[in-house]
Amino acid sequence: MGEYVAKTLGTERHKALIALLIEKREAAGLTQIELAKKLGEYQSFVARLESGQRRVDVIEFLELSEILGFDPYKALWTLSRFE
């Protein structure tokens, strides 16, 4: 069998990612509804991300970084420090 992959929802890294995304959305002056529109999604999509009910995949992360105006590489470096 393959290697075990730890669950990521609820980990310190996941919590830090959520905090980062909320901080960047608020700094951009966007509501969840406005961000959702820019993503082509419903507000509930953003709410699930920000409440920790849903993972963020790499492509979504890059799109969020473009929309919210943050450097994805710096963000990943910061998140890599959490265990």
- Domain at 67, CATH number: 1.10.260.40
Residue 64's domain spans which residues? 14-80
At residue 2, the pLDDT reads 54
Asked if residue 1 belongs to a domain, the reply is no
pTM of the model: 0.87
Higher pLDDT, 83 or 54: 54
Q: What are the residues whose beta carbons fall under 8 Å from the beta carbon of 18, sequence distance 6 or more?
A: 49, 50, 51, 52
Asked if residue 54 belongs to a domain, the reply is yes
Map residue 57 onto helix, strand or coil: coil
For the chain, the domain total comes to: 1
Asked if residue 74 belongs to a domain, the reply is yes
Across 35-50, average pLDDT: 97
At residue 82, the pLDDT reads 79
